[in-house]
């Protein structure tokens, strides 16, 4: 520790950098560090010595270049990939300021490449043909599989050939509704290989949510499987797809092909409902195609995928990522934030249905030629539950099976540590669970966390218990929209502060602004924005560029607005404080209050609904719904259940409200606007902090709501 401190202190004599990055220099002032020493956790000398970024100086040197010369910095990195043709003239061009015309971001425009080629063919040519690309671990212990890089390429090519044969072309959308089978990353890569745009829908979404996405992107094909096991339960996915296809047809969008993988571990084909002509068994067609397939070369700015995410209003947004910048950014963030070495075995427990599974199960690690563990049981969504299980004497079983259908503790609570030991995982990106002592976890060297602020005590437990005080923690702050990590520790480079995501990644300029959009310097807190683009940034919302500008670039002109609050301490460390908009973060996943509200009001007996987030000891935030019923209907337990069922059916089980609060009236201003500030206080029972209620149209409704709080 002292060695490291001296090392950092010696940097105080470095010349300070340009004004815009001066806050970063604050941290290298020995004085500032010394006074905060108690809060700092230093990487061991052994770790730092072998780290890609072994010191603050190295970070600062690279960060400074990435800001002062982004074109040079990123084109050097991009040159390590295969480009059929190099990008033209400008490495990037951007306009993030709505006052200067439409928002536009382009990286490596004119560069011709293919991300599947860079993940597979390029690595195989570099000698990784026989290296394991994917280890697959089934829900059921004892069942597993693996694919080397060359085997994976063959599987990808067969599917790519099939897709071409049924007429899927460059630019066409393909919806993927699959659980964590090998076929999921295979399908993503096959789409990328032929230039088709994949849109993975997490296989926990309901048929209605799936239908909504089908209607929005009009896919050429839907790829799914008949069923999946979640713990001891069998979930019939094909039934959900069938219902979604009926729904979307009503909206005029019909899908010609539903390619269905027969997941024999869960259900036999004879038990699967079938529509001749439309439905095709994967196993009947795909293996017949050749194991090589020419690549469709695409422009760096051609779309790679759409991923729907919740916003504060309206229907889900189709976040669009393009090829070149996303490729360079996910590969680079993966490499540095996890201090990746070719000998590592990497396991990210996220499902490919979320952005984490796109950037850090599939593309980022594969571009680095990593050995990747894929686990059929999804854990990330339960991050919060797992993190706090140790602190609260609660059982999460019912929570898993009723809300998420996930089974991290199947068949026993130490399952994930068994997997760590079995594959000798060295980099583990998830959240910790109980019962760690019975397994060795000796192989671990880096731990990662994502999705929500991690509080200092949970951080220390993760660090001390799971990592035996040996493994740096990468608390990665980012979003579906950002494509990759934005604020993250680089293991070995910096002393860490438990609960802080630390410093920006290369090329990222976070700024904290006040309500007026004025940038605040030094120690402060406010709204987190980003100045200027980075290669992994999303380029638009599919089919709605105006909503893209309104949501992200108009609130604080000149900046990308993240929707998060953030503070920066005197040493320049960043502390994320959660969403500042009407988005709820439940167990690290985003749910828009408006979506839950519109599901509730679709119930024939619900007249109006207002949904707010409330602190939840297991999930981080819980969903709290105020509902007004139609005239003449009285509230009952039965109605409560049926309201919750409506939300489960329309969005998915994970969006089910934790609490329904019957509200004969809602607090509104005279102009009819619901005062959510008051609802949040009532939901969290902070009744002495209701503030001024005199501007309400009917002040009496507040007392009425309080009286009904626990009914
Ligand atoms: C929102 C983005 C990015 C993958 C998972 C969720 C919150 C994310 C952190 C973190 C504090 C975090 C933010 C953000 N968030 N990572 N390390 N510390 N908060 O992706 O569904 O797009 O949600 O998750 O509030 O805005 P997402």
The pLDDT of residue 224: 98
Cα 517 to Cα 504: distance, rounded to the nearest angstrom: 20
- Cβ neighbours for 319, distance < 8 A, ≥ 6 positions apart: 306, 307, 308, 309, 355, 480, 481, 538, 541, 542
- The top-scoring range by mean pLDDT among 16-25, 283-292, 342-351, 618-627 is 283-292
pTM over 0.80: yes
- pLDDT tens per residue, range 536-570: 999 999 999 999 999 999 999 999 999 999 999 98
pLDDT at 349: 85
Ligand 1 pocket residue status of 453, Cβ below 6 Å: yes
**Catalytic residue of the set 121, 569, 581, 582:** 581
Ligand 1 closest atom vs CA 487:
17
Helices 593-601, 637-650: axis angle to 10 degrees equals 120
**Cβ 576 under 6 angstroms from ligand 1:** yes
- For 349-382, the pLDDT digits (tens) are 888 988 999 999 999 999 999 999 999 875 434 4
pLDDT for 378 equals 55
**pLDDT score of 516:** 95
**Does residue 15 have a pLDDT over 60?**
no
Query: Which residue lies with its CA nearest to atom 12 of ligand 1?
Result: 452
Q: Which residues contact 59 (CB under 8 A, 6 or more apart)?
A: 53, 490, 493, 494, 503
Mean pLDDT on 374-402: 42
Residue 660's pLDDT band, with cuts at 50, 70 and 90, is very high
Most ligand 1 atoms within 8 A of CB, residue of 455, 489, 585 to mutate: 585
Choice among 268-277, 517-526, 536-545, 546-555 with the minimum mean pLDDT: 517-526
What is the pLDDT, as a whole number, of residue 699? 82
pLDDT-based confidence at residue 40 (cuts at 50, 70, 90): confident
Which letter does DSSP use for residue 148 in this model? E
pLDDT at residue 27, rounded to an integer? 43
Predicted confidence at residue 389, as pLDDT, reads 36
pLDDT of 406 higher than 60: no
pLDDT score at 310:
78
Per-residue pLDDT for 383 more than 60? Answer: no
Q: Grade residue 693 by pLDDT with cuts at 50, 70 and 90.
A: confident
**Stretch among 12-21, 372-381, 426-435 having the lowest mean pLDDT:** 12-21
Most ligand 1 atoms within 8 A of CB, residue of 478, 562, 581 to mutate: 478
pLDDT of residue 616: 82
pLDDT at 494: 86
563 within ligand 1 shell (Cβ under 6 A): yes
* pLDDT at 198 (0 to 100): 98
Partners of 610 in the β-ladder: 626
- In a 13 Å sphere around the CA of 81, the CA atoms on its Cβ side amount to 35
Which residues face 473 on adjacent strands?
A: 447
Query: What value does the mean pLDDT take over residues 662-680?
Result: 87
- Average pLDDT value for the chain: 87
**Which tens digit of pLDDT belongs to each residue from 115-167?**
999 999 999 999 999 999 999 999 888 999 999 999 999 999 999 999 999 99
Tell me the backbone φ, ψ of residue 25, rounded to 5 degrees: -70, -25
Which DSSP string corresponds to 441-500? Answer: -TT--EEEEESSPPPHHHHHHIIIIISTTTS-EEEEB--GGGSS-SB---TTTS-B-TT-
Q: Report the separation in Å between the CA atom of 478 and the middle of ligand 1, taken as the mean of its atom positions.
A: 5
């Amino acid at each position: 520790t002292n060695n490291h401190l001296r090392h950092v202190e010696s940097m105080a004599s470095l010349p300070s950098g340009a004004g815009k990055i001066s806050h970063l220099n604050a941290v290298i002032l020995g004085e500032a560090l010394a006074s905060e020493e108690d809060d700092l956790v230093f990487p061991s000398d052994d770790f730092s010595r072998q780290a890609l970024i072994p010191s603050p100086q190295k970070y600062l040197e690279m960060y400074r270049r990435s800001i002062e010369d982004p074109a040079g910095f990123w084109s050097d990195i991009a040159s390590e990939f295969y480009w059929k043709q190099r990008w033209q003239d400008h490495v990037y061009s951007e306009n993030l300021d709505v006052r200067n015309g439409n928002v536009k971001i382009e990286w490596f425009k004119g560069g011709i490449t293919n991300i599947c080629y860079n993940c597979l063919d390029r690595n195989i040519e570099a000698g990784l043909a026989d290296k394991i690309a994917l280890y697959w671990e089934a829900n059921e212990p004892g069942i597993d599989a693996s694919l080397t890089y060359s085997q994976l390429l063959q599987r990808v090519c067969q599917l790519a050939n099939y897709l071409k044969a049924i007429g899927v072309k460059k630019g066409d959308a393909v919806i993927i509704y699959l659980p964590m089978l090998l076929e999921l990353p295979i399908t993503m890569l096959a789409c990328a290989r032929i230039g088709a745009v994949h849109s993975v829908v997490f296989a926990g979404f309901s048929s209605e949510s799936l239908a909504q996405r089908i209607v929005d992107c009009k896919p050429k094909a839907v790829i799914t499987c008949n069923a999946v096991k979640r713990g001891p339960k069998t979930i019939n996915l094909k039934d959900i797809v069938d219902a979604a296809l009926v729904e979307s047809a009503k909206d005029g969008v019909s899908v010609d092909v539903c390619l269905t993988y027969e997941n024999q571990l869960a259900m036999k084909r004879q038990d699967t409902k079938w529509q001749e002509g439309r439905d095709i068994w994967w196993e009947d067609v795909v293996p017949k195609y050749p194991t090589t397939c020419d690549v469709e070369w695409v422009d760096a700015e051609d779309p790679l995928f759409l991923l729907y995410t919740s916003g504060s209003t309206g229907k889900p947004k189709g976040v669009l990522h393009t090829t070149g910048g996303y490729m360079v950014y996910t590969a680079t963030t993966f490499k540095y934030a996890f201090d990746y070495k070719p000998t590592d075995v990497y396991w990210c427990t996220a499902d490919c249905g979320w952005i984490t599974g796109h950037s850090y199960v599939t593309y980022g690690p594969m571009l680095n030629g990593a050995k990747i563990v894929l686990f059929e049981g999804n854990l990330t969504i339960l991050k919060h539950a797992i993190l706090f299980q140790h602190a609260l004497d609660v059982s999460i079983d019912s929570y898993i099976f009723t809300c998420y259908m996930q089974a991290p503790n199947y068949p026993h609570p130490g399952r994930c540590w068994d997997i760590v030991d079995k594959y000798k995982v060295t980099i583990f990106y998830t959240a910790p669970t109980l019962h760690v002592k019975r397994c060795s976890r000796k192989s671990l060297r880096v731990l990662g966390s994502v999705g929500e602020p991690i509080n200092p005590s949970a951080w220390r437990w993760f660090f001390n218990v799971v990592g035996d005080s040996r493994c740096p923690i990468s608390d990665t702050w980012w979003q579906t929209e950002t494509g990759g990590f934005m604020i993250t520790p680089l293991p070995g480079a910096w002393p860490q502060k438990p609960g802080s995501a630390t410093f920006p990644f290369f090329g990222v300029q976070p700024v904290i602004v006040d309500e007026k959009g004025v940038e605040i310097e030094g120690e402060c807190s406010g709204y987190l924005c980003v100045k200027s683009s980075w290669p992994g940034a999303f380029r638009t919302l599919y089919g709605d560029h105006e909503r893209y500008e309104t949501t992200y670039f108009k609130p604080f002109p000149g900046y990308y607005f993240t929707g998060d609050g953030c503070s920066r301490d005197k040493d320049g460390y960043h502390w994320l404080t959660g969403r500042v908009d009407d988005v709820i973060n439940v167990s690290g996943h985003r749910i828009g209050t408006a979506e839950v509200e519109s599901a509730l009001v679709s119930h024939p007996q619900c007249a109006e609904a207002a949904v707010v987030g409330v602190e939840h000891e297991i999930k981080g935030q819980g969903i709290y719904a105020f509902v007004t019923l139609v005239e003449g209907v009285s509230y009952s337990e039965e109605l409560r259940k049926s309201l919750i069922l409506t939300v489960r059916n329309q969005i998915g089980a994970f969006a089910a409200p934790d609490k329904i609060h019957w509200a004969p009236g809602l607090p509104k201003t005279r102009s009819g606007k619901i005062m959510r500030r008051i609802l949040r206080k009532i939901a969290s029972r902070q009744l002495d902090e209701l503030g001024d209620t005199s501007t309400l149209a009917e002040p009496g409704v507040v007392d009425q709501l309080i009286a009904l709080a626990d009914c």
